[in-house]
């Protein structure tokens, strides 16, 4: 969220909250610091937080959520939910949504024409965006059209397949530097971050930009404006994106029928990397700014060490929340901050301060259907929600109100604090469970209610089923199990009865396992089992054994309620698709649960 585009979008949205009285909730992440598909679950959880049917409309910044498949499930759910409010997608076109998009072909055509017109030959390099995105293909088409108009052939050996991000600088430089050490006349990148990464790497290797090659980007990111040399680019107005999106939602609210695709034009901004004349920089001011930035960076590093030590010393969750509130208060842009925890049957406000007032560290329960307690909802304008998680463990969320007039109102410190809160809760949960217990590791991976593995145990055990290359060691399947009617049992007979019912389901599942298989309680009434399927019909046998055990309990008459469970399964293919396979099993389970309800 602290990148230029996201901050600009939120700043423009905040105008509609503060000046026009709209209630705007923002859900997202700062960054994804892991490529482990199971650990991404913690960050993705924030996208499942809102009850979308409570909103009049949704604005989706899809290309900020593409890392590790963040938005995949969200988009699928929105497209299949017939009662979902209208969705407006910014900068990416998704069939079924309203889309506010740049004409990517024209945007790239215009900037490429500007750059190529400065070249004497067709020795032109190009960096694509992510290959699986439509806008990336459209931008390439715009580049190819210009090349054709100039009478140049597109050489595949000069097309680098990029990722729209800053991580491929060395690879891009290696790709474009020729055997004789020269570069193409120009290298046209699909966005500014690719251009910045390439420019920085080439300068570090002794090249001069634009003397040795011309470089351009797209989007006019803040970093492109401030880069030395400044990056030639083309701008799509973020204010225009937000205004158009809000106009679409307001038109729908008023009974109108807007077009599904609205095109936003771009404006070329010529700068130093293509040799264009720009306002002369004050070199002394620039050096002073760099020295100040370096000093601030060192101060930030020292501050992060101090913050880390504060959290390490926290001996209770209340103390950890107080530290977090104190630290959030030191961020000038933060107006209000609320920390909320997920619990078995509801949510709890663990601590907060409002309008930079007094901090409150106490536990206040509120229903799962709410984002905040009633007396704190609805008067903050725009709230931004972040997950509180540690790897694949999700503990709750932070809701924060910002002063968006401050330039970097979300920065690295916010991300660091959120990470420390999640890590500290994880650590303190462990300490609570281990007090007076010698078998530390075993308790860490067990669910205290059922004695089955917990999420940590699930991750540990399932990872052992794959080799270092992510290949499964034997044929495997995953079963997603969800207990039927737990809420009814809790509401009718009490939570103690609900806990006993969960334990009985766990016993039925464990009784159906063979050697080498395992089951884990993933949370609430949800379980996952990993089965070894070298035996023909193993999955069917597992389901049959579980259902027979449940039926036997029901026939015994020992309970006032009827025990039940729904099971969905999927083959496990490889380590990198574990989450996809789990989702497939979940969908199968929900289909079975839905069929039961229809059949009643």
Structure tokens at 597: 């309800």
Residue 477 CB contacts under 8 Å (≥ 6 apart), including other chains: 530, 531, 533, 538, 539, 569, 570, 571, 572
Sign of CA dihedral 326, 328, 334, 338: negative
pLDDT value at residue 63: 78
Burial class (CB in 10 A: 0-12, 13-18, 19+), 558: exposed
pLDDT value at residue 438: 46
**Bridge partners for 453 per DSSP:** 446, 520
Reduce the secondary structure of 395-411 to three states and give it as a string: EEEEEEEECCCCCCCCC
pLDDT value at residue 280: 63
Identify the CA nearest to 84 among candidates 56, 44, 60: 56
Structure tokens at 551: 């039926």
Structure tokens at 115: 């750059």
Contact at 8 Å (CB) between 14 and 366? no
Per DSSP, the three-state class of 125 is strand
Instruction: Please report the DSSP string for 451-499 in residue order.
Output: SSB-HHHHHHHHHTTB-TTSEEEEEEEEEEEEESSHHHHHHHH-HHHHH
Burial class (CB in 10 A: 0-12, 13-18, 19+), 284: exposed
| DSSP for residue 219 | S
* Other CB atoms within 10 Å distance of the CB of residue 466: 17
**Bridge partners for 348 per DSSP:** 341, 365
What are the chain's domains?
A: 4-99+238-263 (3.40.50), 104-236+269-281 (3.40.50.2300), 452-599 (3.30.70.270)
* Other CB atoms within 10 Å distance of the CB of residue 454: 22
| pLDDT tens for the chain, residues 1 to 600 | 557 788 999 999 999 999 998 999 999 887 656 666 666 777 778 888 889 999 999 999 987 876 656 778 889 989 999 999 999 999 888 999 999 998 999 999 999 999 999 999 999 999 999 988 888 999 999 999 999 999 999 999 999 999 998 999 999 999 999 999 999 999 999 999 999 999 999 999 999 999 999 999 998 988 898 898 999 999 989 999 999 999 999 999 999 999 999 999 899 999 999 999 776 666 666 667 666 666 656 767 888 888 998 898 787 888 899 999 999 999 999 999 999 999 988 999 999 999 999 999 988 999 999 999 998 876 678 999 999 988 878 899 999 999 999 988 998 899 899 999 999 998 888 777 766 544 555 667 889 899 999 998 898 899 889 987 889 999 999 999 999 999 999 999 999 999 999 999 999 999 999 999 999 999 999 999 999 999 999 999 999 999 999 999 999 989 999 999 999 999 998 898 999 999 999 999 999 998 887 665
pLDDT value at residue 392: 79
Cα dihedral 274→276→280→285 (10° resolution): -20
| DSSP for residue 127 | E
Identify the CA nearest to 58 among candidates 70, 66, 50: 50
Name the pTM for this structure: 0.69
**Bridge partners for 566 per DSSP:** 482
Structure tokens at 8: 């600009």
Contact at 8 Å (CB) between 352 and 325? yes
Burial class (CB in 10 A: 0-12, 13-18, 19+), 254: exposed
**What CA–CA distance (Å, rounded) separates 520 from 445?**
9
Residue with tokens 């929900």: 590
Instruction: Please report the DSSP string for 243-299 in residue order.
Output: HHHHHHHHHHHTT----SEEEE--EEE--GGGT---PPP-HHHHHHHHHHHHHHHHH
Identify the CA nearest to 331 among candidates 231, 383, 407, 247: 407
* Other CB atoms within 10 Å distance of the CB of residue 411: 17
3-state helix, strand, coil in the chain (%, to 5): 45, 20, 35
Residue 73 CB contacts under 8 Å (≥ 6 apart), including other chains: 44, 47, 583
Widest CA span in the chain: 88
Contact at 8 Å (CB) between 593 and 482? yes
The CB-based long-range contact list for 448-453 (8 Å cut-off, 24+ gap) reads 449/499, 449/502, 449/503, 449/521, 450/502, 450/503, 450/506, 450/521, 451/506, 452/506, 452/509, 452/510, 452/519, 452/520, 452/521, 452/527, 453/518, 453/519, 453/520, 453/521
Structure tokens at 211: 């003397």
* Other CB atoms within 10 Å distance of the CB of residue 543: 19
Identify the CA nearest to 303 among candidates 198, 193, 414, 380: 414
Identify the CA nearest to 399 among candidates 426, 428, 377: 377
φ, ψ at 541 (rounded to 5°): -65, -40
**What CA–CA distance (Å, rounded) separates 391 from 414?**
18
Per DSSP, the three-state class of 560 is coil
* Other CB atoms within 10 Å distance of the CB of residue 511: 12
């Amino acid at each position: 969220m602290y990148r230029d585009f996201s901050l600009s979008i939120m700043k423009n949205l905040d105008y509609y909250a503060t000046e026009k009285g709209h209630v705007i909730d923002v859900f997202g992440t700062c960054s994804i610091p892991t490529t482990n598909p199971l650990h991404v679950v913690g960050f993705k959880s924030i996208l499942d937080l809102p009850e979308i049917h409570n909103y009049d409309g949704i604005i989706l910044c899809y290309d900020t959520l593409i890392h590790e498949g963040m938005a995949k499930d969200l988009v699928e759910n929105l497209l299949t939910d017939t009662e979902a409010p209208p969705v407006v997608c910014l900068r990416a076109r998704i069939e079924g949504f309203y889309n506010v998009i740049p004409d990517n072909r024209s945007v790239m055509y215009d900037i490429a024409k500007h750059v190529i017109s400065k070249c004497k030959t067709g020795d032109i390099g190009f960096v694509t965006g992510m290959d699986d995105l439509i806008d990336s293909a459209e931008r390439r088409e715009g580049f190819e059209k210009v090349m054709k108009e100039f009478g140049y052939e597109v050489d595949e050996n000069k097309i680098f397949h990029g990722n729209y991000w800053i991580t491929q600088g060395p690879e891009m430089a290696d790709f474009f530097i020729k055997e004789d050490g020269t570069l193409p006349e120009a290298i046209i990148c699909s966005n500014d971050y690719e251009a910045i990464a390439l420019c920085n790497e080439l300068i570090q290797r002794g090249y001069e930009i634009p003397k040795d090659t011309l470089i351009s980007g797209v989007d006019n990111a803040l970093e492109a404006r401030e880069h030395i040399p400044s990056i030639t680019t083309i701008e799509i107005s973020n204010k225009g994106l937000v205004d158009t999106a809000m106009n679409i939602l307001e038109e729908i609210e008023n009974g109108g029928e807007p077009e599904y695709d609205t095109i936003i034009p771009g404006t070329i901004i010529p700068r130093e990397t293509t040799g264009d004349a720009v306002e002369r920089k004050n070199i002394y001011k620039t050096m002073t700014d760099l020295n100040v930035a370096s000093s601030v960076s060192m101060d930030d590093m020292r501050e992060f060490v101090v913050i880390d030590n504060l959290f390490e010393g926290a001996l209770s969750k209340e103390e950890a929340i107080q530290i977090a509130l104190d630290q959030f208060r030191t961020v000038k842009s933060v107006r209000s901050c609320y920390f909320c925890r997920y619990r078995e049957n509801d949510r709890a406000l663990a601590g907060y301060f409002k309008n930079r007032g007094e901090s409150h560290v106490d536990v206040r329960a509120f229903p799962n259907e709410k984002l905040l307690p009633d007396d704190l909802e609805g008067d903050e304008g725009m709230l931004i929600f972040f997950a509180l998680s540690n790897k694949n463990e999700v503990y709750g969320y932070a809701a924060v109100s910002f002063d968006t007039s401050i330039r970097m109102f979300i920065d690295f410190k916010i991300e660091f604090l959120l990470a420390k809160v999640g890590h500290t809760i994880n650590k303190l949960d462990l300490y609570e469970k281990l007090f007076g217990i010698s078998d530390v590791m075993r308790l860490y991976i067990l669910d205290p209610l059922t004695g089955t593995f917990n999420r940590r145990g699930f991750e540990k055990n399932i990872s052992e089923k794959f080799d270092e290359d992510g290949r499964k060691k034997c044929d495997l399947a995953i079963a997603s199990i969800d207990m039927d009617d737990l809420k009814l049992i809790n509401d009718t007979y009490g939570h103690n009865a609900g806990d006993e019912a969960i334990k009985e389901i766990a016993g039925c599942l464990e009784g159906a396992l063979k050697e080498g298989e395992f089951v884990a309680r993933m949370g609430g009434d949800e379980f996952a089992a990993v089965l070894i399927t070298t035996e023909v019909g193993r999955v069917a046998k597992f389901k049959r054994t579980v259902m027979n055990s449940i039926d036997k309990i029901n026939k015994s008459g020992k309970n006032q309620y009827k025990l039940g469970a729904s099971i969905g399964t999927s083959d496990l293919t490889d380590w990198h698709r574990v989450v996809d396979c789990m989702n497939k099993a979940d969908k199968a389970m929900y289909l079975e649960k839905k069929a039961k309800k229809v059949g009643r």
